Structure 1
């Protein structure tokens, strides 16, 4: 089995996103510039350590390779041969980029998507300069733009999505970041590719955002926290996605407990 799991606000949480919790139960899994940045609960961390010994745990994130490698906790007693970064733009095998996948993705983007410059132009026509904190074009694949979230008006993301329609690109708002991503760069396609590499028969997937939806919809079982874009879009009800009981950091425990139960049922 493959456990394809989004990281930020699904498996790991910052101080701002973790919600109410007992700080004494937290395990720091990431530091940035010497300060703690991301956490898991000790229960979730222990569950993941045990689960990773009996399935293929595949971290699946929009983070780049460098950002992903900061999460030191995912190498502490946790087995993970495969990882998916850059929103599916890159597949890592034992920490090294799979060049075959890289070539396939870039050819698909070239063939199926409008140019990055055109998409950025469409975005710039809709945004006010004072909304933007910083922006970056990552891996020559997608944009992330850090914004003042409180300045983004209601309905603006829907307007942006409409403006991108037909271009081969999509958008997502996660926390303070607006993502502009080619449709060819998606987690679902990358997870399907890793499934073939690993010779796995089943996918259990978890994620909280619209950028996770493609992998949730190809999974035999899919879960999402009771927060995030997917929860807001579907109101906690979806025929193919099971929503966790909790929001915040405790949602990761719900997801890992459900995965544990599924494995136990398969082995019974």
Structure 2
């Protein structure tokens, strides 16, 4: 069994996103320039350590490799053989880039999506530079743009989505970060590839954003926390195959891990 899980605001949380929680309940899992940036609850961390020994836990993130490597908590007593970074653009096996996937995904982007410069030029034409704060081209595959969210007009994302579709690209807004992504680059496609690599027959997936939806839709069972883009879109219901946690914030990770453990027990019983 594979447990493919988004990281930020699904499994790990910054102080700004975690919600009310006692300091004594927190375990730091990411450090940058001497500062603890991300946390899990002690209960969630303990459950993940146990669970990682029973199945293939696959961290699945939009972070690029260098940002993923900062999460030291995923190397301390937690077994990770496979990981997915760059929103599905790179698959790691035992910490190294899988060359087979790398070649396939870059060829797919070349054949089916417009060059990155075209997508970015379209964005620049539609965006107001007054609310664009920072931008980065990630892994030569997609763009991450930091924006002043209050400045983004209502309906603007819908306009951008429609324009990008003609180029074979899509977009997502998560907090202050806007992502422009070519269609072949998705977490769902990468999870399907890892499933084949691992020889797994069952996938449980969890995530909070529209960039996670592709992997939640191809999973055998899936859960989203009671916050984030997916919760806002579906209102905690009518998500089809996606179940929703009762809790929001950092507490939702405990529910997600409990659901993954339940799937593992049921798979073991039926197997």
| TM-score between the two structures when normalised by the length of structure 2 | 0.97
Native 8 Å contact 2:3 2:58 kept in 1: yes
Distance in 2, matches of 1:86 and 1:266, equals 30
Partner of 1:42: 42
Native 8 Å contact 2:204 2:263 kept in 1: no
Q: How much does 1:253 deviate?
A: 0.5
SS of residue paired to 2:249 = coil
List per-residue Cα deviations over 1:184-208 (Å, max 9, x = no partner): 0001110011011111100000001
Distance in 1, matches of 2:149 and 2:184, equals 27
Partner of 1:265: 266
Distance in 1, matches of 2:19 and 2:157, equals 25
List per-residue Cα deviations over 1:142-180 (Å, max 9, x = no partner): 000001111112221111111112211000001110000
Q: How much does 1:264 deviate?
A: 2.2
SS of residue paired to 1:29 = strand
Partner of 1:135: 135
Distance in 2, matches of 1:239 and 1:262, equals 18
Consecutive aligned runs of 4 or more in structure 1 exceeding 3 Å deviation: none
Distance in 2, matches of 1:164 and 1:266, equals 41
Distance in 2, matches of 1:208 and 1:105, equals 24
SS of residue paired to 2:68 = helix
List per-residue Cα deviations over 1:9-58 (Å, max 9, x = no partner): 00000011111111210000001110010000000000000000000000
Partner of 2:168: 168
Output the aligned Cα RMSD.
0.8
Partner of 1:203: 203
SS of residue paired to 1:173 = strand
Distance in 1, matches of 2:106 and 2:76, equals 33
Native 8 Å contact 2:48 2:78 kept in 1: yes
| 1:4-153 alignment runs, 5 A limit | 4-153=4-153
Q: How much does 1:71 deviate?
A: 0.1
Distance in 2, matches of 1:23 and 1:127, equals 40
Distance in 1, matches of 2:242 and 2:167, equals 27
The unaligned stretches of length 5 or more in structure 1 are: none
Distance in 2, matches of 1:194 and 1:256, equals 20
Distance in 2, matches of 1:45 and 1:209, equals 22
Partner of 2:223: 223
The unaligned stretches of length 5 or more in structure 2 are: none
SS of residue paired to 2:223 = strand
